[in-house]
Structure 1
Amino acid sequence: MTSSETPARERRHARDGVEYETVEVPVLVVGAGAAGARTAIALAENDVDCLVVGKRDHGDAHTTWAAGGINAALGTLDPQDDPAIHAADTLDEGHFLNDPHGVETVTRAMPDRIRELEAWGMPFSRTDDGEVDQRYFGAQSFRRTCFVGDRTGEAILETLVARAQDLSIPYRENVMITRLLSDGERVYGAVGYDMEDGHFLLFEADAVVLAAGGYSSLYNRHSSRDDENNGDGPALAYDAGARLMDLEFVQFHPTGMMGAAYGEDWDGRLVTEAVRGEGGRLYNAEGERFMEAYSPEQMELDARDVVARAIAREVDEGRGTENGGVYLDVSHRDRAFIEERLPRMYERFGDLGVDLAEEPVEVAPTAHYSMGGVDIDFDTGATAVDRLYAVGETTAGVHGANRLGGNSLAETVALGKVVGEHLAERAFDERPTLPESQRRLAEEQFAALDRLTDGEGEEDPEALLEEVGALLEDHAGILRDEASLSAGLDALADLRERAGDLDVGERTSRSFEYAVDLGFTLTVAEGVLRGALERTESRGAHYRTDYPDVDEAWRRNVLYEHDRDGMALSTREVGTPSDAVQAALDAGYELDYHQLE
């Protein structure tokens, strides 16, 4: 993260007419957001060489879009809070499909991770006494969300990048990984291409860490940028032989911007939960504060799935705005308070001609986060494939059926350190050995990518991606049923067939990038649909209108594996929490929204 130079010897090959560059490195970290950065920092602090690769310019990762805050039971404002209660809230919000050990690993670590970020220069918002300030987020029993105004993710990534620069961690930007080199038992590296000049890249690595994000952008209306969270992390792991888990759980954040009100470029973009955490209220088109009917105790700060379904119901029953949303209003707060606590939201809407301190804004649910992903061991980050690890939103298990707001950033820094320190305990070859079978596999992938280049088929990759997004919204959105999910799978099979006839430009073009993304998208979209069809209950972010109740027999995780017949599904029982966390659950701690009134 100090330069584009790699720590390992590089050379060029020309074999079978395909030229490529080889890079040798002990540990390859795929993804340059907070999870990848914190993993690399842990490796560097333990004198293990690694290389971080990312699809975008360095420092420009999806982490920067996480605005509202990061959770840790510091007890700044509520001294009774502790990591066990944080874990209990996380399990409760996740409807008890979370991995309890993974949850506790994160919640126990977070006070130290916040102090660590603070020591590295993170400019946290402060109380009058100079302590790290904390705010309410939905479904939190206490104020435990630490923040930097409403630009917390950006501040975290800036802090981690600065620390990585101090440690001279190398990175390579604008690199797209298209396949992992794996025999199904062990990973040996990865292949991809340089997105700036198009040349092919072979990374020979003794271990690979996937920190490439999630898959919420598979939906057309989403809170990410269009070129992020396309499912490449889970799809790469799945193709390499790793297990995926709980893909059916996609979180729809209650408050995304309405494109019809503010312009197509803003459609689905997040209005941070911090607006509601600072007292923002939701009203329907008839001026009713409708959360009083759905959640009189927790109101707008109930769980995200509860608030999102409430908004969807208001709209479906004719009480939404002309644009199909509702109103979010924080104008009862003083202007100075809004400018200080919500500066980015205040500026964004001001630029669009809306004064957040004087008038409401239009919002509706938007695909925001994927709780599913790669199945890992939370003591190490290891997958079912030897030497393949995963961390961050690429993984499953911490968030269960619905993520607690403020926990995504917490997971990245807590588990990034765990994964990096575990890897540092292993002995790695500075010059990894690539079996000849894996070199042939790499060259076959390069040949396939070469054939894809300048393809003259009938189908536009970007258009097909949009069709997949519309398909998921229609068949696997907030409300689902068997007939719709089955129809979605049939439609996806047709899209997969059409994806074999693409019109693609040169390797530096967006159409080539979209063509690669399409392969990842089709894999993960199938998993979302199959998992949602398999789970015959409603739990968290997954709501089946034909099975509207929670079924305790379904307190199981759905697992996905690649076999000779395609995608195979199975289930696994969920573990039990520790005695301390169970005691916190039994105590029944709950947010008192009315403290904000």
Structure 2
Amino acid sequence: MQVRAPGYDHFTTDVLIIGAGAAGLRAAIELSRGGVDTLVVGKSRHGDAHTIWAAGGVNASLGTRDPEDSPDIHAADTIGEGHYVTDPQAVAKLAYEAPERIRELQDWGCRFSLTEDGEIDQRYFGAQSFRRTCFAGDRTGEAMLSTLVEKAKDISVPYRENVYITKLLTASPDSGGHVNGAAGYDLKTGRRLLFSARAVVIAAGGLTSLYERSSSRRNENNGDAMALAYDAGAALRDMEFVQFHPTGMVQPEEMAGMLVTEAVRGEGGRLYNAEGERFMEHYSPDHMELDARDVVARANYREIQAGRGVEGDAVLLDISHRDADYIKERLPKMYEQFSSLGVDITREPMKVSPTAHYAMGGIKVDFDTMQSTVRGLYTIGEATAGVHGANRLGGNSLAETVVFGKVLGEYLTGNLDSLPRSNPDEAEVARHFADLDALGASKGEHDPNELVSELRRLVWDHAGIVRTEKGLDEGLRKLAGLKEKADSLDVVGGSGDLEQALNLRSMLTASEAILRGARLREESRGAHHREDFELEDPDWQKTILCAPGVEGMQLWNEPIGEIPQKIQKALDEDYSLDYHHLE
């Protein structure tokens, strides 16, 4: 329901979903099918979410190519490559439910690539024991999202575009202190927006736009999902674990960091340095280019740092030994992407370099309910933490969206009556909109765009692929200086400047959580690599959490749950990818 109040528009719904990618839409579909009044809001037009950039595939142990695969082995691969700091129950749920979710998408019209027998085809992805990555050429995320968008439209799921959520609202402590709405504004008109809801779901992605080079679009994945939850009092988990994809584009400058999908290596792509050496033979002779992303990314990084990179601080990724028609069929997006730059990947290699790609860290949730540590606030998708541990298995992110979107939708459909109905406090709403007005009219000393660029360089330099105590301490010192500058912003024009100022605030919170978590974890584990603590330490097989405290950001540890017996058995049996099937 919408009411036009003085100064803002007020919407009332049972469940507000912030974020319209695959996770948010899958949850909305489940809720709407259960008769729950649901509203999805997104920053972009309907169907234009970061999901479309997940190109290579989605994991499910269908056994199409390798019948010996199973959910237990999928879970074992996930826990092993997560370096034993995943939430084992969450991993089990992901692995056991993914096959049904993929078949459901196919039933809804998702055009997965098929075998000659008409089964969903599966390819290799890095660090997987068997071929379990389902795909739609190299446009898998796009195919999945378009399917979910059409399904949502078919059942009339309400959706509002161009919405920037700026604050989660909570009921007064004497009413339970639960999250009961959100405030924001329309990015096109500037009109203030208020949403009342019995439950709020964050499905707004990750944080890799904090880095100078990332596979995200610049206006997405800037940590606002985590910052919204943190500001509402929710705990964050494992923020130090950020995955760097081994292969991002380096040229032209406006495309630097754009993903070159893992499907290129899954189809047999090879990495070479400037000397023509296939260098993964030194770093991972058994798994070569299909070792875990953290291993391959560090190998690329070290080759470049050692001066064996090609022009543009890059290495070469070559798929040209494959048949040209095969490449065009299996990798159509990559073929077109490089052809537009005058590079024919059927004949010549691609220049690539590591790029910030995915946040394993995020908001802490209970994976049975998807509720955060604050009542009434739920989270799904990349904004959550716990499924991927210290290093995400490629193909698991898309699986996570539909598996846990369904889990959340089912839970809230059956348990919504346990959440009270209440409107956000009018005084709190008035104060927040007044603060927004003041920020939009501020004429301070510092351009928010320049501070965002400075912050991205800081995070890349001090919390990047390789970290040290000295570098992290220096990063925290510089961050404190940026925070001071952010208190005096020059926001002089339209909603675009206000948007960047708000992005900066979120990015500062998320960056601090990454730097502090990385400083505390004195070991190397998965994507978190400390040059001053190069070994994995059994005493650090635990998770790091942070939340707002009286004296600022507070950090603490919690133990990891017990691995289910069937999955432990699969771990003990030590399945491993036979890379040489590709030779």
Residue number in structure 2 paired with 1:53:
41
Match of 2:569 in 1: 583
2:364 aligned with 1:375: yes
Confirm whether residue 333 of structure 1 aligns to residue 322 of structure 2. yes
SS in 1 for 2:391: coil
How far 1:430 moved relative to its partner? 11
Paired AA for residue 89 in structure 2: H
Partner of 2:534: 548
Q: Does 1:443 align with 2:430?
A: yes
Matches within 5 A, 1:398-477: 398-428=387-417, 432-434=421-423, 438-477=425-464
Work out which of the residue numbers 253, 275, 290 in structure 2 matches 1:301. Answer: 290
**TM-score relative to the length of structure 2:** 0.98
Question: 5 Å matches for 1:532-571?
Answer: 532-571=518-557
TM-score, normalised to structure 1, is: 0.96
Partner of 1:218: 210
1:429 positional shift: 9.7
SS in 2 for 1:282: strand
Aligned partner of residue 385 in structure 1, secondary structure: coil
**Where in structure 2 are the equivalents of 1:3-402 lying within 5 Å?**
8=1, 10-14=2-6, 19-182=7-170, 185-258=177-250, 262-402=251-391
Aligned counterparts of 1:431 and 1:67: Cα–Cα separation in 2: 41
CA contact (8 A) 2:376 2:419 kept: no
Contact in 1 for aligned 2:184/2:194 (Cα 8 Å)? yes
Asked if 2 retains the 8 angstrom alpha-carbon contact of 1:91 and 1:400, the reply is yes
Secondary structure of the residue aligned to 2:416 is coil
Per-residue displacement from partner, 1:486-541 (whole Å, max 9, x unpaired)?
A: 11001001001101111113443x21110011110000000000000000000000
Q: Once the two structures are aligned, what percentage of the paired residues are identical?
A: 58
Q: Shift in Å at residue 13 of structure 1?
A: 2.5
SS at 1:423's partner residue?
Answer: helix
For the residue of structure 2 that corresponds to 1:427, the secondary structure is: helix
**CA–CA distance in structure 1, aligned partners of residues 206 and 190 of structure 2:** 25
**Cα deviation, residue 350, structure 1:** 0.7
Residue by residue over 1:425-458, the C-alpha shift from the partner in whole angstroms, topping out at 9 and shown as x without a partner, is 12349994215xx221111110000011132112
What letter corresponds to residue 335 of structure 1 in structure 2? Answer: A
Instruction: Tell me, yes or no, if the aligned pair for 1:75 and 1:81 is still in contact at 8 Å.
Output: yes
Task: Give, in angstroms, the shift of residue 564 of structure 1.
Answer: 1.5
1:5 corresponds to: none
SS in 2 for 1:197: coil
Alignment-mate amino acid for residue 498 of structure 1: K
- CA distance, structure 2, for counterparts of residue 131 and residue 457 of structure 1: 60
Q: Which amino acid aligns with 1:542?
A: H
Q: Is the 8 A contact 1:24 1:432 kept in 2?
A: no
Name stretches of at least 5 consecutive residues in structure 2 with no aligned partner: none
Give CA-to-partner distance per residue, 1:187-229, whole Å, 9 cap, x none.
0100000111001011011100000000011001000100000
Q: How does 1:475-494 map to 2 (within 5 A)?
A: 475-494=462-481
What CA deviation, in whole Å up to 9, does each residue of 1:57-103 have, x standing for no partner? 11100000000000000000100000000000000110011000001
Task: Tell me the SS of whatever aligns to 1:580.
Answer: helix
Read off the aligned partner of 1:581 and give its amino acid letter.
Answer: I
The one-letter code of the counterpart of 2:551 is D
| DSSP-derived class of the 1:576 partner | coil
Q: Gaps spanning 5+ residues in structure 1: where? A: 1-7
1:164-207: CA deviation from partner (whole Å, max 9, x where unpaired):
01110000000000000025841010000011100101101110
Distance in 1 (alpha carbons) for counterparts of 2:520 and 2:267: 39
Query: Taking structure 1 as reference, are residues 42 and 340 closer, same or farther at Cα in structure 2, changes over 3 Å only?
Result: same
Give SS of 1:202's match. Answer: strand
Contact kept in structure 1, 2:440 and 2:497, CA below 8 Å: no
Provide the aligned length of Structure 1 versus Structure 2.
Answer: 579
| AA matched with 1:339 | K
**TM superposition shift of 1:462:** 1.1
Which residue matches 2:509? 523
Which digits, 9 at most, give the CA deviation of each residue in 1:546-587, with x for residues without a partner?
Answer: 110000000010000111211000000011211110000000
Q: Secondary structure at the match of 2:183?
A: strand
